[in-house]
Amino acid sequence: MVLATEFTKLIGCEAPIQLAAMGGGPALCAAAANAGALGMLGAVNMPSPVLEHLLAALRAGSPEGKIGVNFLMPFFSLENPDDLARLELAANTADIVEFFYGMPDADLVRRVHDSGALASWQVGSADEARAALDAGCDMIVAQGVEAGGHIRGTTPILALLDQVCAFADMPVLAAGGPGGGAGLATVLDAGAAGQRIGTRFLTASESTAHPDYVTALLRARAEETVCTEAFGVGWPDAPHRVLRSCLEAAQNHPEDVVGTMNRGGQEMAVPKFFVAWPDESATGNVAAMCQFAGESVEGVTQRQSAADIVREIVSEAEALLE
């Protein structure tokens, strides 16, 4: 793979691809990192001992790969001692620490730098991107409204890239928009230094997504996703892009609980409209659980290893850019 960009130079990885921090576990993260991408581990609502265990497993699975840790700001506070412990642990272990869903904070960026890691902020607007630049971030992820999962922005990705790349003097990654090698080529041509990819990796063989969820992704088209605040149990008043089918299934589910999932070794009830996506432990009406999907889902047609996904996307993009 020869698609060198300012992102690959900054991180030291081979492919201009970042795995979205979806909470898919260390195996998927390690597989993406071993394939030359930047593997990302989500740390939302995760006690520091659990994060330490997962980071150890991740490093064991990818000793040389480039990895990062993501924190969601609605679930993070500088007043919480364990949040500070998680932040220090992440910055001492990972190559980059990423923040999302809040205005960039120079104090957080400084803490990451003091521990020796790079700092990134995922933004949904040009104003947030300027704030990330002022806060001292090393990298920005610009999220378009087409992205799956937690949606911060309201602007299509190519329009947002046009705005952000006009002033950003650091690598800018694109989240959302077209998928596959064509998508990567498109955002690179638009000024991005790489692409953040989530939906396609949810169907990777290393993903912990429930098989029924994977099947739904493989069958879905772009117009079968919807941005909604309906899945607000656990995170109210926040828009998420999901498969329309899961929204309809949840609306038609007659009871307040749709099933169960295992969390931290314990089985927990999954209330209707709970914000977490169903993993392999899910039981019950999986079709009515939160099934994140970006508009790029239409290009996800087969289950592959993370390595094959990275290689295919990069080789397709190389051919198109040539």
Residue 149 in this model has a pLDDT that exceeds 80: yes
> Which pairing describes strands 225-228 and 240-243: parallel, antiparallel, or unpaired?
antiparallel
Q: Residue 129 has what pLDDT? A: 98
Q: Residue 1 has what pLDDT? A: 52
Whole-number mean pLDDT of the chain?
96
Cβ atoms 157, 188 nearer than 8 A: no
Render pLDDT for 269-278 as a digit per residue (tens, 0 to 9): 999 999 999 9
Non-local (6+) Cβ contacts of 103 within 8 A are 128, 131
Q: Residue 2 has what pLDDT? A: 66
DSSP 73: G
Render pLDDT for 60-82 as a digit per residue (tens, 0 to 9): 999 999 999 999 999 999 999 99
User: What is the token pair recorded at 37?
Assistant: 């991408």
User: What is the token pair recorded at 169?
Assistant: 């003097």
User: What is the token pair recorded at 225?
Assistant: 């996703």
Q: Residue 153 has what pLDDT? A: 86
Render pLDDT for 163-214 as a digit per residue (tens, 0 to 9): 999 999 999 999 998 899 999 999 999 999 999 999 999 999 999 999 999 9
- Closest to 165 in 3D by CA, of 135, 197, 107, 123: 123
Band the pLDDT of 303: cuts 50, 70, 90. very high
CA 105 – CA 97 distance, rounded (Å): 13
**Phi/psi of residue 216, nearest 5 degrees:** -65, -40
Enter the pTM of the model: 0.96
Q: What is the SS3 assignment for 182?
A: helix
- Closest to 94 in 3D by CA, of 58, 123, 53: 58
- Closest to 204 in 3D by CA, of 57, 14, 29, 1: 29
Tell me what the mean pLDDT of segment 32-43 comes to.
Answer: 96
Residue 107 in this model has a pLDDT that exceeds 70: yes
Classify domain 6-205+300-321 at the CATH superfamily level: Aldolase class I (3.20.20.70)
Cβ atoms 153, 160 nearer than 8 A: yes
Cβ atoms 82, 50 nearer than 8 A: no
Share of the chain above pLDDT 90, in %: 94
Cβ atoms 16, 184 nearer than 8 A: yes
Residue 268 in this model has a pLDDT that exceeds 80: yes
Domain residue ranges in the chain:
6-205+300-321, 211-297
